[in-house]
A and B are shown apart, each in its own frame.
Chain A
Amino acid sequence: MSSSTDLKLIRMANQIATFFESQPEGDRAERVAAHLRSFWEPRMRDRLFAMMETDEADALTPLARRGAEIWRDAGQAVPAGSETR
């Protein structure tokens, strides 16, 4: 993928995390993961996971990174659909 797409994905992940950062504590990272799993197509997911192995992931906010890690580690076990629409 192009670097502009990578930047977009990082910005999108950070935007999602910013919303959940404002929500009550407890399961913020899990909710970020559920949102990503609900809406992101596998190509976007794979690219995000690939970036997490590189310096590019430094641009992710801590919560965005934690959410992505939960998704990466749990895979299909992350509940999708709870964050739909």
Chain B
Amino acid sequence: MKDFLIPFDGPGGTGLKNDTDMGTPARVSATMVTLTVDGFEVTVPEGTSVMRASAEIGIEVPRLCASDNMEAFGSCRLCVVEIEGRRGTPASCTTPVAEGMVVRTQNEKLRRLRRGVMELYVSDHPLDCLTCAANGDCELQDMAGAVGLRDVRFTPGQNHYDPSGTGARSQAEARLRQPEGIANPQFTPKDDSNPYFTYDPSKCIVCSRCVRACDEVQGTFALTIEGRGFDSRVSAGMKLDDFMTSDCVSCGACVQACPTATLQEKSVAEIGTPDRAVVTTCAYCGVGCSFKAEMRGDELVRMTPYKHGKANRGHSCVKGRFAYGYAAHRDRILNPMIRDRIDEPWREVSWEEAIGFAADRMRGIQKTHGKKSIGVITSSRCTNEETYLVQKMARAVFGNNNTDTCARVCHSPTGYGLGQTYGTSAGTQDFDSVEDTDVAVIIGANPTDGHPVFASRLKKRLRAGAKLIVIDPRRIDLVRSPHVEAAHHLALRPGTNVAVVTAMAHVIVTEGLYDEEFIRSRCDWEEFQDYVAFVAEDRHAPEAVEMLTGVPAQELREAARLYATGGNGAIYYGLGVTEHSQGSTTVIGIANLAMLTGNIGRKGVGVNPLRGQNNVQGSCDMGSFPHELPGYRHVSGGEAREVFESLWGVEIDHEPGLRIPNMLDAAVDGSFKGLYCQGEDILQSDPDTKHVAAGLAAMDCVIVQDLFLNETANYAHVFLPGSTFLEKDGTFTNAERRINRVRRVMAPKNGYADWEVTQLLANAMGGGWTYTHPAQIMAEIAATTPSFAHVSYELLEEKGSVQWPCNDAAPEGTPLMHIDGFVRGRGRFIRTEYVATDERTGPRFPLLLTTGRILSQYNVGAQTRRTDNVAWHEEDVLEIHPHDAETRGVKDGDFVRLASRSGETTLRAEITDRVSPGVVYTTFHHPTTQANVITTDFSDWATNCPEYKVTAVQVSPSNGPSEWQQDYEAQAEKSRRILPAAE
């Protein structure tokens, strides 16, 4: 047998493993089949194609229409082989292996056949290879070489590539021959409507890989082959559509699949083909996709999804694949800046002066106002190593626990709810688990927009037969999209999650659908008895809560039955669960449902929080919360404090610090005066903007470390330029607890990686830190945090990634949690009483506003607004139901005034029945809108997570910006003035 080893390039390398396309997908089977290919024996699972079996032993059969991320299609006829005892020359991609099969992939007959096929392809392909963007990266070119094509016998006739119709073999030649324009009816001009890639029909070989990638990988079904025979061409949508007007979501799967330059990144056409690649992790959502950053010199040519990435399995979305232009955007601030007062212009200064200024101010504040008068905010957009250092700054240098993170405003209830019920603050599954799911329940999440790559994986499973239950006030895309339709959509009223989840438990309990064996063996039986008595009360019946929730009782009953009896049931949830006054209670209710039905501890089931940002999980793991040290250990615990005290040589405060909302309250009250805010824009992202602004304005020193002068920086005294994920080493931990490497592919444009900036500031305040590489920070994390004990950069290089816990008990990580028992011992059922939020509609504010995000934009938009993604979403709009619009005299596209008791703003209305009557919806991606001027200071009872999802509002026609918007714009403009640096 031939050697076929996956090379490992060792620690500190690029992370690249063998990227060979095996032609067709892998198969899983208990039955193994042995065959012979070109005299070499190979054993593969039953169902494997002959093409893949050949590839397993390093024999690459020529092909054009096959790729290992989609099912075999058998159209190009290039992969023909001979099989002993069988007639003809079958396609190796569509022919499954058989025991004892003897295959020949190369002989004179096959060579002749393949050359003939290639001649036909090339006869209708422009011969402009030297000026083609895919030159050197073209499978058609490669295959021409592989089959030994030396001549094309067919004279140019009817074709798709020559616009002149004169027999020109390239478009340059055609322009010379026919300068008047297109004379060939078969020729279709290039479609460059998409900002990131072009579609050139003249180069298309109609292999259908793009269409199949859109169908099978992405699940959007935007592409098709129109026409028949010679007229066949790829088409996006209807006849008059281009890529931009079609249903295409710009995930890039078609571009990735295209074997020619038909679908080609514009960046490659502009820069040239890459000459090296480094594996890294996307800096957008919590799926944490692995990408190859493909480089030429120190210029990023493109980001392509990495096929060995265990979260994304080779897929991507428009943000990770294309929206990286912000890294080189002209708005980036690359020099440190300071100012005495926030009404002064910024002064560019040296790093030394900026750090010295910041350190003096912070120490001065502490001297005047006490040790606890300053604090930090860590960011889920920063690496584990960076967040670890920022919380260490608070605890070891500032001497207090005033550290919080943006997870406060998103998934802090997940930590509380799952911690209480299961004993650990994390999702239970890996993303691969969805492939074994029979019933998926999506609660308060919109995966096609917020977590698109997971959504594609889910849709694939749904197309294979799994059932879907959606619990959401809006009709999200998953409710009904091509080849996917939810079995049940429970369109509940915002704020009634607990009532719905408890009613589902009522059905499961009263109809005897719970898994008693699981509960007896895994959960506290006494607590279960109490819980059963609670949920069985009539007041929790679907019929009893229907008026409250707006969910038809029968629909809810059927959904509960399906979840309990439909096989492997998995719950995925998002901020529509957590960002409520009862966010923690709903998380507890979800955990109860999974325990009730025994849907914990194996593949295909579980409770899965979809984390909004790339490192929400990691920033929480790293001790960013003010009451917990790294590894979720309370600061009051002497044993845990001792670990850090002995290592850091300081005494750690044993009392909790301030959470973000508490910091702002204390600032307004005058006892909190200094903030170091890394990578977050709390003015735009946190609720009740006016209160946030008042808190920031009341501080004596606000230090913002960011790529851009964000909205928070309007109130800052020190600006420390940040570095992008392309410019530093580190790790992100995604929603499945997977620790992935972030690798530096270029030098920081600002001069320092973010962890270095934190170290400079810490040392200016007497920290005495001596880190020279993030690997050392991870070593410290591993040494102090039991769930990370075995994590190291060397292990990550070797394994690609690992999921925590990763320690003596699980040296290679833990893909699934709670297999043999819950982390806390026995699973704990907790009563979930519905309590209506204090935020009520009434005559002044009769509608309920809920907020969310869309596919092309990310969080506060600081990154995506500085990319061509604005082509899809250049402003926030307000979704309003036709009935509500009509009664207010609002037409589609009108400017409307959106007002709550907190404030008001204006934005355009979009009339849609996607929202129910009485509910309006908007996004918070644009600072000119500032949706959070509207949201209130109400929050989750357990964690202070803001209640973004329920605000009582009124909508009325408007002529222009609100007073707040006008004032804010003027203030922001004034605040962003920068004086030139002193000579």
Residues in chain A within 8 A of chain B (CB atoms): 1-2, 4-5, 8, 11-12, 15-16, 18-19, 22-24, 35, 37-44, 76, 80-81, 83-85
Complex alpha-carbon distance, A2 and B632, angstroms: 32
Q: Contact check, A80 vs B833: say whether CB atoms are below 8 A apart.
A: no
Q: Contact: A80 with B941, CB < 8 Å?
A: no
Q: Judging by beta carbons under 8 Å apart, are B634 and A22 in contact?
A: no
A-B contact pairs, 14 of them (CB 8 A): A5-B665, A8-B665, A19-B585, A19-B835, A22-B833, A39-B656, A39-B942, A41-B626, A41-B658, A41-B659, A42-B372, A43-B666, A80-B634, A84-B416
Q: Within 8 Å CB of B585, what residues of A? A: 19
13 more CB-based (< 8 A) A-B contacts, given A16-B941, A85-B419: A2-B668, A19-B835, A19-B942, A22-B831, A22-B835, A23-B830, A38-B636, A39-B627, A39-B656, A41-B401, A43-B658, A43-B666, A84-B627
A81 touches B662 (CB 8 A): no
Say how far A30's CB is from chain B's closest CB, in angstroms: 16
CB contacts under 8 Å to A, within B453-505, are none
B530, B669, B944 — most chain A CB neighbours (10 Å): B669
Residues of chain B within 8 A (CB-CB) of A2 are 668-669
**What separation, in Å, do the CA atoms of A73 and B658 have in the docked complex?**
23
Q: Is the CB–CB distance between A18 and B835 below 8 Å?
A: yes
B665 proximity list for chain A (CB < 8 A): 1, 4-5, 8
Contacts known (A43-B666, A80-B634, A84-B632); A18 close to B420, Cβ less than 8 A: no
- Assess whether A81 is in contact with B658, with CB atoms less than 8 Å apart: no
- CB neighbours (8 Å) of B659 from chain A are 39, 41
Is there contact, CB below 8 Å, between A38 and B941? no
Chain B contacts with A in 417-467, Cβ cutoff 8 A? 418-420, 425
Residue of A2, A19, A76, A85 with most partner-chain B CB within 10 A: A85
Q: For the complex formed, measure the closest distance between the CB of B704 and the CB atoms of chain A, giving whole angstroms.
A: 23
Distance, CA A35 to CA B420, complexed state (A): 12
Sorted nearest first, the 5 A-B pairs with minimum C-beta distance are A81-B634, A85-B419, A22-B833, A15-B941, A80-B636
* Contact between chains at B628 and A84 (CB < 8 Å): yes
Given known A-B contacts A22-B831, A40-B656, A5 and B669 have beta carbons under 8 A apart: yes
Q: How far apart sit A24 and B401, CA to CA, in the bound complex (Å)?
A: 33
| Complex interface: chain A residues within 8 A of B636 (CB) | 37-38, 76, 80-81
With both chains docked as a complex, state the minimum distance between the C-beta of B882 and any C-beta of chain A, in angstroms.
36
Interface pair B634/A41, CB less than 8 Å apart: no
Given contacts A5-B669, A15-B581, contact A84 B634 (CB under 8 A): yes
Give how many B residues have a beta carbon under 8 Å from the other chain's beta carbons: 42
CB-CB under 8 A from B831, the residues of chain A are 22-24
Q: Mark B507-534, 1 if CB is under 8 A from A, else 0.
A: 0000000000000000000000010000
| Cβ contacts under 8 Å, A15 to chain B | 581, 941
Contact between B669 and A1 (Cβ–Cβ < 8 Å)? yes
Q: Which of A4, A11, A44, A85 contacts B662 (CB 8 A)?
A: A44
Q: With contacts A2-B668, A43-B666 known, is A85 near B416, CB below 8 A?
A: yes
The closest CB in chain A to the CB of B663 belongs to A41
Q: State the CA gap A23–B418 with chains docked (Å).
A: 17
The answer to whether B668 and A5 have CB atoms under 8 Å apart is yes
CA distance A51 to B318 in the complex (A): 53
Assuming the contacts A2-B669, A81-B637, asked whether A41 and B830 have C-beta atoms less than 8 A apart, the reply is no
Q: Is the interface of A mostly helix, strand, loop or mixed?
A: helix
Decide: A8 near B634, CB < 8 A? Known: A24-B530, A43-B671.
Answer: no
Bound state CA distance, A18 and B833, in angstroms? 9
Which residues of chain A come closer than 8 Å to B894, judged between CB atoms? none
Known: A23-B830, A85-B632. A41 touches B656 (CB 8 A): yes
Shortest Cβ distance from A41 into chain B, in angstroms?
A: 5
In B654-708, which residues have CB < 8 Å from any A CB?
Answer: 655-659, 662, 665-666, 668-669, 671
B631-643 to A contact mask, C-beta < 8 Å, 1/0: 0111011000000
Q: Which B residue's beta carbon lies closest to that of A79? A: B636
Which residues of chain B are within 8 angstroms of A83 by Cβ–Cβ distance? 420
B residues in contact with A22, CB < 8 Å:
831, 833, 835
Q: Which residue on A lies nearest to B671, using beta carbons?
A: A43
Q: Does any Cβ of A come within 8 Å of B68's Cβ?
A: no
**In the assembled complex, which residues on chain B have CB atoms less than 8 Å from the CB atom of A43?**
372, 658, 662, 666, 671
With a cutoff of 8 Å between Cβ atoms, the chain B residues found around residue A5 in the complex are 665-666, 668-669
Closest-CB distance, B285 to chain A (whole angstroms): 23
Near A by CB (< 8 A), chain B positions 47-72 give: none
CA of A1 to CA of B581, assembled, Å? 24
B937 proximal to A (CB < 8 A): yes
Specify which chain A residues have a CB less than 8 angstroms from the CB of B655 in the assembled complex.
Answer: 41-42
With a CB–CB cut-off of 8 A, which chain A residues contact B637? 81
Cα A8 to Cα B943 in complex, Å, equals 14
Task: Indicate if the CB atoms of B662 and A41 lie closer than 8 Å.
Answer: yes
Task: Write out the residue numbers on chain A whose beta carbons fall within 8 Å of the beta carbon of B657.
Answer: 41
Chain B residues whose CB sits within 8 angstroms of the CB of A23 once the complex forms: 830-831
Closest A residue to B669 by CB, please name it.
Answer: A1
Q: Is B415 an interface residue when CB atoms closer than 8 A count as contact?
A: yes
Q: Which of B806-837 contact A (CB under 8 A)?
A: 830-831, 833, 835
The residue in chain B whose Cβ has the minimal distance to the Cβ of A24 is B530
0 or 1 for each of B104-125: is its CB under 8 Å from A? (1 = yes): 0000000000000000000000
Asked if A38 contacts B634 (CB within 8 A), the reply is yes
- Bound CA span A37–B655, Å: 8
Most B-side CB within 10 Å, residue of A5, A37, A84: A84
Residues on A with beta carbons closer than 8 Å to the beta carbon of B632: 84-85
Looking across the interface, which residue of chain B has its beta carbon closest to that of A85? B419
8 Å CB contact of B942 from A8, A16, A37, A41: A16
**What residues on A are CB-neighbors of B830 within 8 Å?**
23
- Please determine whether A12 and B944 come into contact, CB atoms closer than 8 angstroms: yes
In the assembly, what is the distance between CA of A1 and CA of B669, in Å? Answer: 5
List residues of B (13-62) whose CB comes within 8 Å of A's CBs: none
Given the complex of chains A and B, what is the CA–CA distance between A19 and B941 in angstroms? 8
Q: In the bound complex, what is the Cα–Cα distance between A40 and B175 (angstroms)?
A: 74
- Interface residue from A39, A44, A85 paired with B425 (Cβ < 8 Å): A85
Q: A8-B937, A23-B830 are in contact. Are A85 and B415 (CB under 8 A)?
A: yes
A22 to B657, CA, bound (A): 28
Q: Nearest Cβ in chain A — how far from B832, in angstroms?
A: 8
Which residue of A has the minimal Cβ distance to B634? A81
Please report the C-alpha to C-alpha distance between residue A37 and residue B628 in the assembled complex, in whole angstroms.
13
Residues of A within 8 A of B415 (CB): 85
A81 to B641, CA, bound (A): 13
Q: Inside 8 A of B425's CB, which chain A residues have their CB? A: 85
C-alpha spacing A8/B668, complex, angstroms: 13
* Cα distance, A59 to B94, chains bound together (Å): 74
Question: Do A85 and B420 touch (CB < 8 A)?
Answer: yes
Q: Which chain A residues border B401 with CB–CB below 8 Å?
A: 41
Q: What is the bound-complex CA distance between A22 and B502, given in angstroms? A: 13
Residues of A within 8 A of B656 (CB): 38-41, 80
Closest A residue by C-beta to B657: A41
**Closest approach, in angstroms, between the C-beta of B690 and any C-beta of chain A?**
12
A78 to chain B, nearest CB (A): 10
Q: How far is the CB of A46 from chain B (nearest CB, A)?
A: 10
Bound together, the chains give a CA A38 to CA B401 distance in angstroms of 13
* Shortest Cβ distance from residue B501 to the other chain A in the assembled complex, whole angstroms: 14
Within 8 A of A (CB), among B358-408: 372, 401-402
Residue among A4, A5, A15 with max Cβ neighbours from chain B (10 Å): A15
Closest to A13 in B: B941
